[in-house]
Amino acid sequence: MLLHEQAFQLIGEGVVLLIFLIVILLIVGLILGIILVRKNKLVLPSVIIFIVNVFYSPLKSFANLLGLDDAFVDHIGIEVRNKVNKNKFDKIPPEDKIIVLPHCLRSAHCEASLKETGVLCTHCGKCAIGVIKEKAEPMGYRVFIVPGSSFVKKIIQQNKFKSVVGVACHVDLNQTMMALSDFAPQGVLLSTSGCFETKVDVSKVLETIGYYDYKKQEENVK
């Protein structure tokens, strides 16, 4: 066999081996993700994060091939980061945290105006935004209501913070948490999808920001 033929053979074998290893990684990622999401057991978090980050698109395609919704991959990314970052997040005081809410939570009858920092809530009580703000701000959180990713970038650039709580749909939340991984992000998924009058489980948001523990401490002081 000629030298160049041997070289092509080695390259071909290398490509096959690489594809095989990637498929194995995708299978491992989905299995670990299923254990995390459905059994609430976190196994090899660093491996999950690596696979979701590096093989994000192939993992989604592979999930579809197996009959899974590709949003499941984003769900895995969100859940693993929530669990990995929880201890660090809890140690950071609310004054050093921000909450970013999507403007799609607004009521169809919302009269709030849009400014440089996002939507300025009027606390009309017609949607979940006002409830979250009323509970979170006395704790020290700064709450931002944003209409898009450009506003998120502006908030990040113009504000000092050590951690962030985000509310969004699967794709936006996973990608934002990925981009802000250095800030121990916590994420809460919207309970309904779409771009208009979406919903979120307010109790889950309040639990995430530590509101119930905060109220218990207040009552104990009294």
Please say which residue of 34, 55, 82 terminates a domain. 82
In the predicted model, what is the mean pLDDT of residues 145-173?
A: 90
Residue type, 52: V
In this prediction, residue 2 carries a pLDDT of 60
Torsion angle of C-alpha atoms 150, 152, 155, 156, degrees rounded to 10: -110
> Do residues 68 and 178 share a domain?
no
- At residue 3 the predicted structure's pLDDT band, cuts being 50, 70 and 90, is low
- Tally the domains of the chain: 2
> Do residues 54 and 112 share a domain?
no
In a domain, 61, yes or no: yes
In a domain, 96, yes or no: yes
- At residue 49 the predicted structure's pLDDT band, cuts being 50, 70 and 90, is very high
In this prediction, residue 11 carries a pLDDT of 82
Q: What is each CA distance from 52 to 15, 75, 184, in whole angstroms?
A: 22, 10, 17
Please say which residue of 24, 59, 82 terminates a domain. 82
> Do residues 33 and 127 share a domain?
no
In the predicted model, what is the mean pLDDT of residues 188-206?
A: 93
> Do residues 76 and 46 share a domain?
yes
**Using CA atoms, how far apart are residues 83 and 76, in angstroms rounded to an integer?**
11
User: With 70 as the cut, is the pLDDT of residue 1 above it?
Assistant: no
> Do residues 70 and 107 share a domain?
no
Residue numbers of the domain that contains 40: 3-82
> Do residues 135 and 206 share a domain?
yes
- The dihedral region occupied by 184, where left means phi > 0, alpha psi between -120 and 50, and beta the remainder, is left
In a domain, 174, yes or no: yes
In a domain, 87, yes or no: no
> Do residues 64 and 96 share a domain?
no
Please say which residue of 82, 117, 134 terminates a domain. 82
Contact indicator for 98, 144 with CB cutoff of 8 Å = yes
CATH code for position 183: 3.40.50
What's the DSSP call for residue 190? -
In this prediction, residue 141 carries a pLDDT of 98
